Amino acid sequence: MESFQQLKVWQNAHTLTLKVYEITNVFPKSELFGLTSQLRQASASIGANIAEGWARNSDADFARFCKIALGSTSELENHLLLARDLKFIETEQQMELSGKALEIRRMLIKLIVKLKA
């Protein structure tokens, strides 16, 4: 594989990040350095860690970075729940984005298992 961009899990993470940026554009300006920033950082961290791990040229390092990305999916889900409870996003938006994060989590777990085999 020539690039991390060819990984389906990275592609899904990138798409999710774009959606997070889109929904946070309408958050209150008072949240720019709060929840908006945290949501964006957590979502961007997923793809960034996949990319960095891929570049390490070591299955063990790649698996370690995938575990970090896995943690970022949970962080993102937490922040999405908070955004919903604060009425910054609708329940449907939270469920859609959380569902995408769950799909990425499953893909990461499978990749980690494969890398450790």
* pLDDT single digits (tens) 34-88: 999 999 999 999 999 999 999 998 999 999 999 999 999 999 999 999 999 999 9
The total number of structural domains in the chain stands at 1
* pLDDT single digits (tens) 11-22: 999 999 999 999
* pLDDT single digits (tens) 20-43: 999 999 999 999 899 999 999 999
70 and 105 Cβ atoms separated by less than 8 Å: yes
98, amino acid identity = S
Helix, strand or coil, per DSSP, at residue 85: helix
pLDDT reported for residue 2: 87
54 and 85 Cβ atoms separated by less than 8 Å: no
For residues 109 and 66, give the distance between their C-alpha atoms in angstroms, rounded to a whole number: 8
Domain holding 70, by residue range, is 4-116
pTM of the predicted model over 0.85: yes
The DSSP call for residue 26 is: T
Report the CATH number at residue 69. 1.20.1440.60
